[in-house]
Amino acid sequence: MPEGEGYNRDHSIINVSGPKAMDISKMDFPTTMVVVGGFDLLQDWQKRYYEWLKKSGKEAYMVEYPNMCHGFYAFPELPESEQLMSDVKDFVHMVLKKTTN
């Protein structure tokens, strides 16, 4: 970055799917799983990221946990944390199955 360039929430480094987003439509981009907690203060950003992936023609899946906050998976005592690990495992298996067929 050149010195003195201002950063704000719309800067392409900070908001990869924002108004200054790079065109990824022709890029080889991996299948993506976006995890959203219903009480996550960033859930709107995460949902916009998911929509941007879809509009860019990328395969993306959104998994929502309505009663969870940001980073809930860091608390293994939460049943949703265990559920997320199971969902991630299923997601990885699905992607691997698609690539081997």
Task: Give per-residue pLDDT as tens, 9-43.
Answer: 888 888 899 999 999 999 999 999 999 999 999 99
What's the burial of 50, exposed, middle or buried (CB within 10 Å: 0-12/13-18/19+)? buried
Average pLDDT over all residues of the chain: 93
pLDDT at 2 over 60: no
Task: Tell me the Cα Rg of the chain.
Answer: 16
Tokens matching residue 89: 């495992």
